[in-house]
Amino acid sequence: MVVSRKTIFIVNPNASIGSTGKEWPCIRDLAEKRLGPIETYFTAGPGDAARLTRHALGAGAELVVCVGGDGTLNEVVNGYMGKDGPIKPDALLGFIPRGTGCDFVKTATIPREPSLALDLIAWGRASPVDLGRIEFRDRYGRPASRYFHNVTSFGLGGEVDDRVNRTSKVFGGFISYIWATLISLLIYHRKRIRLKVDGKFDMCVMCWNIVVANGQYHGGGMWVAPDARLDDGLFQVTIVGDLSLAEVFRNLPKLYNGKLFQVDKVDTLRGRRIEACSDQRVLLDVDGEQPGQLPVVIDMVPGALRLIRPK
């Protein structure tokens, strides 16, 4: 049992449509039984999880547990990381999934049930996982950078995120994302994007969406990168190309059943450095958030974090 480590919980009480805050006393009691004394920091708005994580690590935390969704986890991950890598390489990261989508845990195989996730944190071992580092333009056109643990995409994915994040998500992750996807498909226009992968692939592509995947799923369960691994030092790049709207709707189920690459005009690549630009406005999706737009440069950061997850 992990009882000797200084343990900090970063809790987003608004996660899962506010149910996390209501259920936190029960989760806290379970955590104290399994882990011993803990400290809790609550987020109140965007950026808090990154700031609180950085503070916790500076104050000696050896284990930080994120309680929230993929967006909260992304902030915690960014709190772990500095410009030159992890600010405390030996610190461990645990995750109790409580968000609307929580796509990352489908790849990391972390249980969604809090008691099972806590068992994993108490008894499990940490293993290194890769991250992506992304340089892009924020919503105001200013240079920006951040890390991601799961998926970055550009094109339709950014439009969907923008729509989802402006809704209540009251019907849950899957319904929220599928509804936003359907609406966005009807009003979105394919973009021409120049894509480079490791300096070997360099081409302008007309496409609906390009996915740069560390994990396998995004968008509330879309299985966009079945061959992606969290610890192989490579991204899987999925290009959803110049399909007609009818072809997109006809093949929509393949987004969820792992058969996406059976579709003509859907291609896949693997690489460590991805660059993309466009003469058009192309929005980004970074771990379910919409922070900005192209141009973008994405670099693999292998083995960046020690995440507690099943072998």
pLDDT of residue 1: 46
Q: Are 251 and 263 in contact (CB under 8 A)?
A: yes
pLDDT for residue 2: 45
pLDDT at 169: 57
pLDDT reported for residue 178: 73
pLDDT of the residue at 174? 56
DSSP 226-249: TT--TTSS-EEEEEE-S--HHHHH
What are the extents of the domains in the chain?
A: 7-124, 131-302
Tell me how far CA of residue 62 lies from CA of 73, 76, 177, 237, 280, in angstroms.
17, 14, 35, 34, 45
**Residue 30 host element (H or E):** helix 19-35
| 144: β partners | 136
Q: What angle do CA 179, 180, 181 make, to 5 degrees?
A: 90
| Domain 131-302: top CATH class | mainly beta
Q: Provide block-wise average pLDDT over 10 residues at a time, the chain (311 residues).
A: 77 91 96 95 96 97 96 97 92 92 92 96 92 96 97 90 64 64 82 96 96 94 95 98 94 91 96 98 93 97 96 79
Q: What is the pLDDT of residue 168?
A: 53
Q: State which CATH number among 2.60.40.1180, 3.40.50.1820, 3.40.50.10330, 1.20.1050.10 fits the domain covering 7-124.
A: 3.40.50.10330
The residues near 229 (Cβ < 8 Å, ≥ 6 apart) are none
- For residue 269, the SS3 value is strand
Output the six-digit token pair for 135. 């340089």
CA–CA dist 40, 12 (Å, integer)? 11
pTM: predicted TM-score of the whole model, two decimal places: 0.91
d(CA 156, CA 33): 44
Per-residue model confidence (pLDDT) at position 60: 96
Query: What local confidence, expressed as pLDDT, does residue 299 receive?
Result: 98
